[in-house]
A and B are shown apart, each in its own frame.
Chain A
Amino acid sequence: MSDLNKSTLTQITNLIKTKKISSLEVTKFFIKNIEKAKKLNTFITTCFEKSLKDAKNFDIKKNYNGLLPGIPLAVKDLFCTKNIKTTAGSKILENFIPAYESSVTNNLWLEGAIILGKLNCDEFAMGSSNETSYFGNVINPIGKNLVPGGSSGGSAGALAANLTPATIGTDTGGSIRQPASFTGTVGLKPTYGLCSRWGIVAFASSLDQAGPMTKNVEDCALLLEAMSGYDPKDSTSINKKKEQYSKNLNENIKGLKIGIPKEYRIDNMPKEIDNIWNKGIDILKKSGATIVNISLPHTNYALPTYYIVAPAEASSNLARYDGVKYGYRSKKGKNLTEMYENTRGEGFGREVKRRVLIGTYVLSSGYYDAYYLKAQKVRKLIKNDFDESFKKIDAILTPSTPSSAFKFGEKTNDPISMYLNDIFTVPVNLAGIPAISIPGGVDNKGYPMGLQLIAKALDEQKILNIALTMEKAINFKNSINRWWEN
């Protein structure tokens, strides 16, 4: 039997299709890995009984037509899963069992995948280190004292530790790409509207997108193909034919024009990030691409814009948590209003409260124009920057994050320093365009750091192809010794 700790999603898919291994064997292997990795705290819920039953069923039916035949997968606990607890990392949803399945996870199961469990994340996906989860910190498999990034920290951690052959996360301001960068894995935020938002616990609806998190680019293309597609249940879903990202994946990037935005060379950026970025530029040149220096003049305003738009949308999305129809309810309070206030006061964590309060403030009478409307206008300018650039170039190369993984507690006392983590990822969400993070190399501590490729809307294939080319040349290997199994 081949070593499944060294196998990619695509390889396991082929092993199952060629009957070299059964779905049950693969499923049992990952369950064993998960059971040995409790220390990492990547899972909020496991459902092994169902996983094994589904695997056995697959092996009886032997339907190899799907893209993910008999593949066990764990998903971020922000996707509603029918009859399986879905918490969004929050106390307020501690016991919530959805009566429906999110469209994106449903797509995975229709392609033959099997659920392993639900992965830890920042509460309501609000965080960049997975330290805001009600269910505790996730430990980065790269090192005991390191955060995995966030908000899809459990997803990135489980993937890097090989507790799932691939996974899906959500990305509102960098929540797929930043943890991918911190764990030496690949993560893609698709074009807004490519993957359905139906059944995903909503954070900021104009920014939220689900996307694949994988060990390499080939897997990323496969999983994106499986999860994406038009969904009439999401009014912002793009109605177009499904792309065959896997089949069309190739390394021919000759003649492509790649932009290097000068605004992403920020002050105090570690020198190693610059080095990794320059190395990426060299690879692109050698592969026949043309490098073009560009300017995205409003980049510096992306983060402040995001911290108005996202909390504003969150404050209205989270109004539904009132302790009446589902979720946690406080026992304190003399009347309905007090019950609401106590439920939300006790049920939400600190970061969620911060954002709901900010959001309510910027939308409140007398402040709406000064904050929210202003932010919507600047958002337009940020989008215009990208639109103008993509008239001249095919893609943009930047670092994914301004640093490698940091230590627990290092940024928890200062919200702004935590928010700055997303400085390179947030502009993409504001513009609704796709971006992928791939491992670019390691810093002097040996921690992975990612490179980000950005394209115009619906140009996922282009950045996948460029990423594949760069991945081959960079030849990154994660040095993880499975220390948590001792």
Chain B
Amino acid sequence: MSIDKSQVKKVAKLSRISLDDKNLDSLSNDLALILKFVEQLNKLDTNNVKPLNSIVDKSLEPRKDQVNDGKIKEEILKNSPDKNEDFFIVPKVVE
């Protein structure tokens, strides 16, 4: 399996990353190299191996569904690049 430019374009779209043609070219080369490198794994037979999903040998502990933080609305909004009163502003999404 190798990756071509049109696939990189598609992955960039999925990743929501804009790429100009120059970056698309050089990143396509990088990605092809990296994928070739990781494909070494195909040399291994893993048919009977269970995938390792988590390194921690326990199921995640549920916590009580209660508020333990909050009332920092202003501090949170302070970091927003664009806001209006209590709202984050984004470009228009509905015509």
A contacts, CB < 8 Å to B: 95-97, 99-100, 192-193, 206, 232, 235-236, 238, 298, 300-301, 303-305, 307-308, 315, 319, 322-329, 333-342, 344-346, 348, 350, 353-354, 356-358, 360-362, 364, 367, 370-371, 373-381, 383, 415-416, 419, 431-432
Cβ–Cβ < 8 Å partners of A308 in chain B: 38, 41
B contacts, CB < 8 Å to A: 1, 3, 7-8, 11-19, 23, 27, 30-31, 33-35, 37-42, 44, 46, 49-56, 60-61, 63, 69, 72, 75-76, 78-82, 88, 90-93
> Contact check: which of B37, B41, B49 meets A416 at CB < 8 Å?
B37
A-B contact pairs, 11 of them (CB 8 A): A235-B60, A238-B56, A307-B34, A319-B16, A338-B18, A345-B17, A357-B8, A358-B35, A374-B42, A378-B41, A415-B34
Q: Closest residue of chain B to A330, judged by CB?
A: B18
Contact between chains at A361 and B56 (CB < 8 Å)? no
Q: Closest residue of chain B to A354, judged by CB?
A: B30
Contact between chains at B17 and A336 (CB < 8 Å)? no
How many whole Å from A179's CB to the nearest CB in chain B? 23
Contact between chains at B52 and A379 (CB < 8 Å)? yes
Distance of A274 Cα from B46 Cα, bound (Å):
33
How many whole Å from A472's CB to the nearest CB in chain B? 33
Contact between chains at A327 and B79 (CB < 8 Å)? yes
5 A-B pairs closest in CB distance: A345-B18, A432-B55, A376-B51, A326-B79, A329-B81
Distance of A86 Cα from B33 Cα, bound (Å):
33
Distance of A348 Cα from B49 Cα, bound (Å):
36
A304-B31 contact, Cβ under 8 Å, with A327-B79, A360-B14 = no
Cβ–Cβ < 8 Å partners of B81 in chain A: 323-324, 326-329
Distance of A373 Cα from B44 Cα, bound (Å):
13
Contact between chains at A325 and B76 (CB < 8 Å)? yes
Contact between chains at B16 and A337 (CB < 8 Å)? yes
Contact between chains at A376 and B52 (CB < 8 Å)? yes
Distance of A308 Cα from B34 Cα, bound (Å):
9
Cβ–Cβ < 8 Å partners of A235 in chain B: 60-61
**Given known contacts A192-B55, A383-B55, what 18 new A-B pairs fall within 8 Å (CB)?**
A99-B76, A100-B69, A206-B54, A206-B55, A236-B55, A236-B56, A304-B38, A304-B41, A308-B38, A326-B79, A333-B91, A338-B18, A353-B19, A353-B23, A360-B14, A362-B38, A377-B52, A378-B41
Distance of A318 Cα from B55 Cα, bound (Å):
21
Cβ–Cβ < 8 Å partners of A362 in chain B: 38
A354-B34 contact, Cβ under 8 Å, with A315-B15, A340-B16 = yes
Count of chain A to chain B residue pairs whose CB atoms are closer than 8 Å in the complex: 167
Distance of A362 Cα from B31 Cα, bound (Å):
11
Contact between chains at A380 and B51 (CB < 8 Å)? yes
Contact between chains at A329 and B82 (CB < 8 Å)? yes
Cβ–Cβ < 8 Å partners of B8 in chain A: 357
> Contact check: which of B37, B54, B60 meets A304 at CB < 8 Å?
B37
Distance of A236 Cα from B55 Cα, bound (Å):
9
Distance of A47 Cα from B40 Cα, bound (Å):
47
> Contact check: which of B7, B15, B38, B91 meets A339 at CB < 8 Å?
B91
Q: Closest residue of chain B to A355, judged by CB?
A: B34
Contact between chains at A357 and B60 (CB < 8 Å)? no
A354-B44 contact, Cβ under 8 Å, with A323-B81, A370-B1 = no
Distance of A315 Cα from B16 Cα, bound (Å):
11
Cβ–Cβ < 8 Å partners of A371 in chain B: 38
Cβ–Cβ < 8 Å partners of A419 in chain B: 37
Cβ–Cβ < 8 Å partners of A383 in chain B: 52, 55
Distance of A329 Cα from B88 Cα, bound (Å):
12
> Contact check: which of A337, A344, A346, A353 meets B27 at CB < 8 Å?
A353
Cβ–Cβ < 8 Å partners of B88 in chain A: 324-325
Distance of A379 Cα from B16 Cα, bound (Å):
29
Contact between chains at A415 and B30 (CB < 8 Å)? yes
A307-B12 contact, Cβ under 8 Å, with A326-B80, A344-B18, A370-B1 = no
A354-B40 contact, Cβ under 8 Å, with A344-B17, A381-B49 = no
Contact between chains at B93 and A335 (CB < 8 Å)? yes
Cβ–Cβ < 8 Å partners of A356 in chain B: 15, 17
Contact between chains at A416 and B1 (CB < 8 Å)? no
Contact between chains at A374 and B46 (CB < 8 Å)? yes
